[in-house]
A and B are shown apart, each in its own frame.
Chain A
Amino acid sequence: MGDRQDRSDDRSRRDTVRDTYDRIASHFASTREYAWPEVEAFVDQQTAVDEGIGLDLGCGNCRHAELLAALDGVGPVVGLDVSRGLLETGRKRAREREFAVGLVQGDAATLPLVDDCVGVGIYVATLHHLPTRESRRRSLDELARVLAPGGRALVSAWSTAHSSFDETEGFDTTIEWTLPDGETVDRFYHIYAPDEFEADLRASDLELLEWELSSGNCYATVAGDGGGGEVDAQSVDY
């Protein structure tokens, strides 16, 4: 019974995140013009990709799908987001900047993709919107499932290391988004403690290759459950 209640709360809170982004989509996208340097650096390293699609998970306006579309060797690029409004901003950007992306409305914890299809994945600033630890872990397992052998993904989440926060333990919060007319809309976040982020990744089906803190975000480079065996663990700086 309690489990069912948790699941129902989880769903309704995820619906709220979707509704929020549908409402703020245009304004939000207009403030998200540029790719993150950490993502650019990761994509620049993906020179050995010769199979699989590019996946931008939680694609928003597709600024990172755009980087994937320009990468040599990668197959078609898919942009997946829970918010239909954000996907529309991604379509607009793809049209204006003339890159190809297949848009899919979906849930990061229940991916509508076949096993082992992703050569390069970007999963940034999205995991922290999933409302329960169980759903966040499930989404990491889903990412592991869809990553091809040898595929790589970059996962990021906001962390307590950011100067906005005094807390040292991970916590749930809502953060306001202010629309141009002054109206504010709440967004759910789970702010990760860095060691909690690492623990959740290690507990998942993903293989954690390396991770770092940058600009108050945790970033992890990961492989899927069947890949990454060729990486020399000694050379990886945890």
Chain B
Amino acid sequence: MKESLLDILRCPMDKHELELEDAEYGENGDEIVAGTLVCVECGERYRIEDGIPNLLPPDMREETPA
């Protein structure tokens, strides 16, 4: 995902902003391929997996990624 996408992405639960942690960038530098998005309000953590953020509510997420 592009870092600019963070401007519009929000925590699905409380709609607060997300902070990027542990970001890994792709070869050309403008794509985040892995990392974690953390809600500044509730602290819920959402993983970026293979470049796609998983922003499903916690109870719709699979416990162990396939």
Closest to A100 in B: B2
Size of interface on B: residues with Cβ below 8 Å to A: 23
The 8 A CB mask of B48-66 against A (1 = contact, 0 = none) is: 0101111111011000000
Q: Which of A82, A84, A102, A107 contacts B2 (CB under 8 A)?
A: A102
Q: Which residues of B contact A175 (CB under 8 A)?
A: none
Q: Which of A91, A103, A107, A114 contacts B56 (CB under 8 A)?
A: A107
Q: Is the CB of B1 within 8 A of A112?
A: no
Q: Is the CB of A105 within 8 A of B55?
A: yes
- B4, B8, B10, B15: which has the most chain A beta carbons within 10 Å? B8
Q: Is the CB of B60 within 8 A of A15?
A: yes
The answer for the CA separation of A116 and B8 in the assembled complex, in Å, is 10
Q: Is the CB of A103 within 8 A of B12?
A: no
Q: Is the CB of B4 within 8 A of A103?
A: no
Closest to B11 in A: A112
Q: Is the CB of A102 within 8 A of B10?
A: no
Within 8 A of A (CB), among B1-53: 1-2, 4-5, 7-13, 15, 46, 49, 51-53
Q: Is the CB of B60 within 8 A of A14?
A: yes
Given contacts A104-B53, A104-B55, A105-B54, contact A112 B12 (CB under 8 A): yes
Size of interface on A: residues with Cβ below 8 Å to B: 24
Q: Which of A76, A104, A107, A115 contacts B60 (CB under 8 A)?
A: A107
Q: Which residues of A contact B60 (CB under 8 A)?
A: 11, 14-15, 18, 82, 107
Q: Is the CB of A115 within 8 A of B56?
A: no
Q: Is the CB of B5 within 8 A of A78?
A: yes
Interface flag for A179 (CB, 8 Å): no
Q: Is the CB of B56 within 8 A of A78?
A: no
The answer for the CA separation of A102 and B9 in the assembled complex, in Å, is 11
| B10 nearest CB across to chain A (Å) | 5
Q: Which residues of B contact A82 (CB under 8 A)?
A: 56, 60
Q: Is the CB of A115 within 8 A of B15?
A: yes
Binding site for B on A (CB under 8 A): 11, 14-15, 18, 53, 76, 78, 82, 84, 87, 91, 102-107, 110-115, 117
A-B contact pairs, 7 of them (CB 8 A): A78-B5, A87-B52, A105-B54, A105-B56, A112-B9, A112-B12, A114-B10
